[in-house]
A = this chain, B = another copy of it.
Amino acid sequence: VRTIKLTIAYDGGSYAGWQFQPDRPTIQATLEQAWNQVTGEHVRAIASGRTDAGVHALGQVVSIDTDTRLPAERLVAALTANLPADVAVVAACDARPGFHAIRDAIAKRYRYVIHDGDVRDVFRRNYAWHCHRRLDADAMHRAAQPLVGTHDFRSFESAWPSRESSVRTVSEITVRRLPHEPTIIHTEITADGFLYNMVRAIVGTLVEVGRGARDERWPAQALAAQDRSVAGPTAPPWGLFLLEVWYPAEAVALPSRAAAESVDG
């Protein structure tokens, strides 16, 4: 068997999320159908994580076990040509057979986009959370830093407990106003894994600080409380983008390629 690693982008606005659901449009079903049109195969596409309805991706990673002999580099154009305009394959490569987009993932980065201009931006209505009051992005950034590290994040998990453990390691959180677009704030969070709605709950909490309703110590206090009801509201899905997923080189690299690369080692 052969395993392909795809990197895909999608506008989640018209989909009920990644995961297959009968009678509702999903990214998974859309991608599997395009694969079928290109190769004739019925495959199961496995994504690094299930994005919710309305959530977008710039760099979602998908693994597919296949018997097709099509070169990976041809799959980008062939699949994209068979996908609707709101889904695109950005990259495709052969991976080590058995590479698994969920199990092998070691880190992910999400971006959450906030627009805090006075008047709503008609072009961002599906791609940013519009906060009418101007936010203090620097205060949000400072307030977020205590969340970096290994913590029990159940205060920021919807429907806890949804996983065996709610301990995750956040390696970076940055909140910054874009220099060239002064009413746009990007919050980017990198972690080894994310709980259900974790980014949106963190952003909803930071916005309370940004609009001055809570002080900068509050997100750290909410984290320590280990109680979802203590933290802020869950930000809406349409501001959220899955940016990137990381894998260990040995999980992805083909044996032959890995061998070639280790000639000098």
A interface residues, Cβ below 8 angstroms from B: 9-11, 56, 76, 80, 85-90, 119-123, 125, 127, 180
Give the distance in Å from the alpha carbon of A178 to the alpha carbon of B85 in the complex: 24
Q: Tell me which residues across on chain B come within 8 A of A125, comparing CB atoms.
A: 11, 85-86
Q: Chain B residues near A80 (CB, 8 Å)?
A: 119-120
Report yes or no: A120 in contact with B85, Cβ–Cβ below 8 A.
Answer: yes
Residues of chain B within 8 A (CB-CB) of A88 are 119-122
Copies per complex of this chain: 2
- Inter-chain CA distance A121–B85, complex, in Å, is 9
Instruction: Say whether A127 contacts B119, CB under 8 Å.
Output: no
Most chain B beta-carbon neighbours within 10 Å: one of A86, A89, A120, A122: A122
Q: How far is the CA of A11 from the CA of B10 in the complex (A)?
A: 20
Closest B residue to A12 by CB, please name it: B122
CB neighbours of A11 from chain B (8 A) = 122-123, 125
* Centre residue among A85, A87, A119 by max chain B CB count within 10 A: A119
Is B76 within 8 A of A90, CB to CB?
A: no
A90 and B121 CA atoms in complex are apart in Å by: 9
Leading 3 A-B pairs by shortest Cβ distance: A85-B125, A11-B122, A86-B122
CA distance A98 to B11 in the complex (A): 45
Residue of B89, B119, B121 touching A76 (CB-CB under 8 A)? B119
The residue on B at minimum CB distance from A87 is: B122
Complex CA distance for A80 and B125, rounded to whole angstroms: 13
Q: Give A185 Cβ to nearest chain B Cβ, in Å.
A: 16
Smallest CB–CB gap between A106 and chain B, Å?
A: 25
Distance to closest chain B CB from A121 (angstroms): 8
**Chain B positions within 8 Å of A121 at CB level:** 9, 88
* Distance A56 CA – B120 CA, assembled complex (angstroms): 15
Are A89's CB and B119's CB within 8 A?
Answer: yes
